[in-house]
Structure 1
Amino acid sequence: MNRIIALVIVVVAVLFAGASTLLVVDQRHVAVVYSRGGSNPVVVGTGLHVKLPAPLQSAMIVDTRVRTLAPSDADHCVTSDKSELLVTPALKYRVTDPLKLFNETEGDQQSANDRLAAALRSALGEAFGKRSLADALAHQGAIAREAQAAMAGTAGTLGVELVDLQFLRVDFPHAAADAVYKRMTAAEEKAASDARAQTSAEVAEIKADAERQRDAVLADAYAAAQSIKGGGDAKAAAIAADAFGRDPNFYQFYQSLQAYRSVFKAGDVIVVDPDSEFFRFMRSPDGNAASTNPAASASRKH
């Protein structure tokens, strides 16, 4: 019975020792195999590898995929105008030099994450501290790129490549949110008021310019009309003068007709001597014939 128990113990010990000498690495990882005390580290890739059993040799498995570092708590960043912001970043990175990572962290990968997180906080604080609140909110992408470039040196010493840095959220602290929103609202209202005032001034200027152009067009048109009218009157006067010059009696006849037109209007009653000189062209075409009824009075209604 004792022999059976001893045999089982030996078999288990052999299996355990054999299992500790085998190292399986899949395609998502690499392994750093190192001797006691972290000496003689060697990087091995995908496959099945044999090593000495622990504690003679140990292995650190390194994930070479793109990973995300997202702090659980938002970072407090202060802008150049002393406004506080709560920034929640997300840093994407991957390990490109596992051996450098092992040497810098002595096999403790959590310390690498802590160093990256500290470098990220420092880079964000410096990037936001260079900008005003409005500038920081308007250029978050530029701030992220600037912070990523600033922490590239720290990441390089860890054998890490930074892939991307984005902000999951940028917000105000609860205590300052109302005051900031009111200040931003006042600034936007002032900008809107200035824009309306400028627009009103431009509209007034456009209207004044249009009125000046209208007055100029009307003045030019009136001047042209008067010139045309004056030319027409001059031609009419010349034609009339030529006609009257050919026959002076025609001028007298024409003027009498104009007088009749002005005097005899519908509804007017005129009592006048029919032998008056005023009616001489009504008695005779040449205005020289004697009256046919010299003693009578005439009453005309038109």
Structure 2
Amino acid sequence: MKNLSFAIMFIVLAAVLVASQTLFVVKETERAVVLKFGEIVRDDVKPGLHFKLPIMNDVKKFDARILTMDSRPQRYLTLEKKAVIVDSYVKWKISNVARFYQSTSGDEFVANRVLSSRVDTGLRNQFGERTMHEVVSGEREELMTELRDRIDGVAQSELGITIVDIRVKRIDLPPDVSESVYQRMRTEREREAREHRSKGLELAEGIRADADRQRVVLEAEAQRDAEMIRGDGDAQAAAIYAEAYQQDPEFFDFYRSLQAYRESFANSGDVFVLDPEGEFFKYFKETN
């Protein structure tokens, strides 16, 4: 009984060992090639369960998803010989597994290094054919499309990969150029600020002059109205005085004399040199 159990376990272990050496699984996110003593005998193995010969065959698996190569920022010259710092990235995937393995030995680092060199040369040529305005805004999309199509053909023939997309993340100016550009922008903004201030001062002077003119006109009109009202009041007062004088001339003279005395002797320090017999002191002498 024990020998039978031992035999069954041995057979199972042997079957597992043989299966592990003859069966392999390719995931949905992978592609593979089967080698026979280092030579490709089956390429582009699709996802699923597959067989191989132990010892003779070897399997190399590769990531079939879209991969990203993020390049370091590089310095390029535009058509006007202006330097720019360009930060870009490339999206690529394996399209020909056999060629990819033959050209890179299945090493993504080697593929990225070769692809980076091609992209760097392509970007240098593309930027050298365009002006600063074109690479920044005018023809940026056209530049990326043209570069992708050009490098894609080379990448497929040399590396067995397809270029999905090439994008420029940022375009910056070198520090020395940036400082001169910022200084020029600062000077331009200061000039515009001075123009706005001068226009504001001119407008303020116009508003102030108009306000002064209105003030003079209002004061003149008010002075005119005051003089007219004062004149009407004086005329009415004169008419009232005249009417009162006609009713009792003697009393009117007496009343006016009292007003003259009150106004003349209002201050104790005032001194008058007058003839005591004059008309001014008439009511000082008369008792009846």
Q: TM-score interval w.r.t. the shorter chain?
A: 0.5 to 0.7
In the alignment, which residue of structure 2 is the partner of 1:288? none
Indicate conservation of the 8 Å contact 2:34/2:60, yes or no.
yes
- Alignment length, in residue pairs? 251
Find the counterpart in structure 1 of residue 235 from structure 2: 238
* Structure 1 residues not aligned, in runs of 5+: 1-14, 285-290, 294-302
Deviation by residue 1:104-137 (Cα, 9 ceiling, x = unmatched): 757435686466434532453324763439x97x
Change (3 A) 1:161 1:106: same
Return 5+ residue gaps in structure 2 as ranges.
1-16
- RMSD, aligned CA: 4.5
Q: In structure 2, do the counterparts of structure 1 residues 121 and 163 end up closer, same or farther at CA, with 3 Å as the change threshold?
A: closer
Map 1:1-302 → 2, pairs under 5 A: 19=21, 22-31=23-32, 41-45=43-47, 47-51=48-52, 61-71=61-71, 74-91=73-90, 93-95=91-93, 98=94, 100-102=95-97, 107-109=102-104, 113=112, 116-125=115-124, 126-127=126-127, 130-132=130-132, 143=140, 147-153=143-149, 154-155=151-152, 158-162=161-165, 165-167=168-170, 170=172, 172=174, 177-178=175-176, 180=177, 182-248=179-245, 249=249, 264=265, 266=267, 267-280=269-282, 283=283, 291-292=285-286
Displacement of 1:197 in angstroms is 1.4
Shift in alpha-carbon separation, 1:25–1:41, aligned structure 2, 3 A:
closer
Per-residue deviation, residues 51-92 of structure 1 (Å, max 9, x unmatched): 56898x886633133422134x6433013442223434333x
Deviation of 1:222 after TM superposition, in Å, equals 0.8
Q: Is the 8 A contact 2:26 2:49 kept in 1?
A: yes
Deviates more, 1:24-33 or 1:206-215: 24-33
| CA–CA distance in structure 2, aligned partners of residues 271 and 146 of structure 1 | 111
2:8 aligns with none
The answer to whether the 8 A contact 1:86-1:171 is kept is yes
SS in 2 for 1:246: helix
Q: Secondary structure at the match of 1:69?
A: strand
Distance 1:102 1:246 in 2: 130
Paired residues of 1:32 and 1:44 also in contact (CA < 8 A): no
| Range 191-200 or range 107-116, more displaced | 107-116
Q: Which residue identity is paired with 2:31?
A: V
TM-score, structure 2 normalization: 0.63
Deviates more, 1:60-69 or 1:265-274: 60-69
Report percent identity of matched pairs: 22
